[in-house]
Chain A
Amino acid sequence: GQQVMQIPQYQHVQEGEDFTTYCNSSTTLSNIQWYKQRPGGHPVFLIQLVKSGEVKKQKRLTFQFGEAKKNSSLHITATQTTDVGTYFCADGSSNTGKLIFGQGTTLQVKP
């Protein structure tokens, strides 16, 4: 069935370094969502991308949707310890409304 592959699985960075996680699909996505889960917490919605080539920014976070709508990325500039957590992409293409999540990328930030 439909799958989204997310890489890397883990990333350790020094505070102040940049971080990127990638989400790839073998099929065209109608939309993609990104969520953040803090350690011990639950996933929280960050953003939804719908248009081909779309770029959205939230402070130090930049989200991109590929031109072919088969991939997406989340880039964090100058990481802070508050960025620690697991970032998930989710495929919202199903006409039944279900969201299929990638495996997630867990970010650790060393102060």
Chain B
Amino acid sequence: NAGVTQTPKFQVLKTGQSMTLQCAQDMNHEYMSWYRQDPGMGLRLIHYSVGAGITDQGEVPNGYNVSRSTTEDFPLRLLSAAPSQTSVYFCASRSTSGKNIQYFGAGTRLSVL
């Protein structure tokens, strides 16, 4: 039972490089989201999706793109990495019915030099 899987676990980028953080869930959850976690700032919502083909911006969307072509996958794209995007990124999913529990992936630690 994999739950929410994020890859990679660690990544170092140079300023201006692009990359995609992968997220997949096997629980058939409609809702998926991306957060970044910085010291003293808690978990800040970047983008979220309520189903395949539907995405919306969260609190801190600038510099990030997302797409949701399938229920299972919700990749996060950094088009031109900046040092301010150094952070820990968490993907999460939840069902829109039932107990409303949000499940998190193990996280991706990203450093932008």
Binding site for B on A (CB under 8 A): 1, 6, 9, 31, 33, 35, 41-45, 48, 88, 90, 92, 96-104
Question: In whole angstroms, how far apart are the Cα atoms of A101 and B60 in the complex?
Answer: 13
Kindly provide the distance from the CB of B76 to the nearest chain A CB, expressed in whole angstroms. 15
Q: Name A's interface SS.
A: loop
- Pick the contact of B90: A6, A42, A97 (CB < 8 A): A42
Given A42-B105, A97-B96, A98-B58, A88:B43 Cβ within 8 A: yes
Are A42 and B100 interface neighbours, CB within 8 A? no
Q: Name B's interface SS.
A: strand
| With A43-B104, A45-B103, A101-B35 already in contact, 12 other A-B pairs whose C-beta atoms are closer than 8 Å | A44-B104, A45-B102, A92-B100, A96-B48, A96-B50, A97-B31, A98-B33, A98-B45, A100-B45, A101-B42, A101-B43, A103-B41
Instruction: Using CB atoms, name the residue of chain B closest to A42.
Output: B104
Q: Among A1, A6, A98, find the residue whose CB has the most chain B CB atoms closer than 10 A.
A: A98
Complex interface: chain B residues within 8 A of A92 (CB): 100
